[in-house]
Structure 1
Amino acid sequence: MWKKKSVEKFSVMPYLSLFLSCMLWMFYALPIVKPHKTPVLTINTAGAAIELGYIFVYFLCSTGTTRVRAMLLLVLELIFVAAVVVVVLSIHITRERRATVIGIICIVARMLAYIAPLSILGTVIRTKSVEYMPLHLSIVYFFNGLSWTLYSFIDFDANILVSRASFIISNLFCF
């Protein structure tokens, strides 16, 4: 995108879905929801910052309705995360229940974040070209999911385990 100054056939959805997922996992890792999850908070804060960088580049390289659509989706995501935070913190439930509720939302968001890049498979099959799905990126995604799955066993966290293990399984189909 940056070299050609155009988004061509690239979609903003993988970037937005991963940004949404990172923001929700950041909330999950806060001490008021799930204490002692500093690695989850740190990694997802860095991930959200990186995704914001990608989204910014997408905005710079897109034009017209593509840019407006991407901005609208970003604003809707921010509103959704704010609503989740307000609702979950305003209902009076235990910390464990709060972690379960946010954990389930995070699992769904992470699965969406992992499904978004897999949507490229349609383009790969249709064009019979892997230009839009580089192998090294798939391998990095696979090992990322594997490392987080292993982390979830250290201080057993079912929410992290389910969200990452589902990605490993879906990624195996890409190889």
Structure 2
Amino acid sequence: MVDTIHIIVGIMGNGASLLLYAAPILTFKRVIKKGSTEEFSCIPYAVALLNCLLYTWYGLPVVSCQWENLPVVTINGLGILLETSFIVIYISFALPVQKKLVILMMAAALVVFSTTALVSSTALHDHHQRKVFVGSIGLVASISMYSSPLVAVKRVIKTKSVEFMPFYLSFFSFLTSSLWMAYGLLERDLFLAAPNLLGCPIGLLQLVLYCIYRERK
């Protein structure tokens, strides 16, 4: 029974994550239409890309035992493609200063991921050690990913406007965090459950702020 629930939650988590990763499509449709990134920040997308890279690696048989974390691999693999696309679009329409910042962030993310993959595959010799090592770094990346919307939260409180904090991004962030927290708890995997313990309240905070300021211009 527990295994069945675990599989169902994993499938639901994949669905919610897909909607979360696809939610910025509306934002970047606006960016392309206006030819400007306006006040949108690329930090959440760069951090999300690093998170997807690390957890794709975490779920592969190199780190996990066989394919026990297949749902983690599939959705984060798709996340890599989507986040990369968003970042490329952002760079295309960003100001020179913004482009430089994003490129530096991308380079840093690739260095962190490459180093993590190299060390875990060569210096560590069993799945437990690899999961602890990769999971610990992934945990930090996930906490950073779920904390990055606080930049938008600060802007909402300051401007009393939710224009640059899209509702669907906040909603699916909360939903995804809730489902993956449940998935991690059912599997007794701290590295999957722990970051979502932070993601849930942050997502809820965004929704509360949206309800408060959505009528204001």
* CA distance in 1 between partners of 2:58 and 2:86 (Å): 23
How many residues are paired up?
Answer: 175
Task: Give the 3-state SS of the residue equivalent to 1:120 in structure 2.
Answer: helix
Unaligned ranges ≥5, structure 2: 1-30, 209-217
Mapping 1:78-157, distance limit 5 Å: 78-157=110-189
Give the CA RMSD over aligned residues: 1.4
* CA distance in 1 between partners of 2:110 and 2:185 (Å): 31
* CA distance in 1 between partners of 2:95 and 2:162 (Å): 26
* CA distance in 2 between partners of 1:92 and 1:140 (Å): 36
* CA distance in 2 between partners of 1:94 and 1:137 (Å): 37
The answer to whether 1:5 aligns with 2:32 is no
**Most deviating of 86-95 and 27-36:** 86-95
* CA distance in 2 between partners of 1:64 and 1:119 (Å): 21
The answer to whether 1:25 aligns with 2:58 is no
Partner of 2:3: none
1:127 CA drift (Å): 0.9
* CA distance in 2 between partners of 1:8 and 1:108 (Å): 29
1:42 CA drift (Å): 0.3
Report if aligned partners of 2:47, 2:145 keep a CA contact under 8 Å in 1: yes
1:153 CA drift (Å): 3.3
Partner of 2:89: 57
1:98 CA drift (Å): 1.2
- Give the number of the structure whose residues are more often helix, by fraction: 2
1:135 CA drift (Å): 2.8
* CA distance in 2 between partners of 1:121 and 1:70 (Å): 20
Unaligned ranges ≥5, structure 1: none
Partner of 2:202: 170
Percent of aligned positions that are identical: 29
**Most deviating of 133-142 and 108-117:** 133-142
AA aligned opposite 2:43 = M
Q: 79, 84, 94: which is aligned to 1:47?
A: 79
1:134 CA drift (Å): 2.6
AA aligned opposite 1:85 = A
* CA distance in 2 between partners of 1:59 and 1:6 (Å): 10
* CA distance in 2 between partners of 1:131 and 1:17 (Å): 22
1:93 CA drift (Å): 4.0
Task: Give the 3-state SS of the residue equivalent to 1:2 in structure 2.
Answer: helix
Instruction: Write out per-residue CA displacement over residues 120-172 of structure 1, whole angstroms, 9 at most, x where no aligned residue.
Output: 11111111111111333211111111111222234331211111122112223
TM-score normalised by the chain length of structure 2: 0.76
* CA distance in 2 between partners of 1:134 and 1:80 (Å): 29
**Most deviating of 138-147 and 15-24:** 138-147
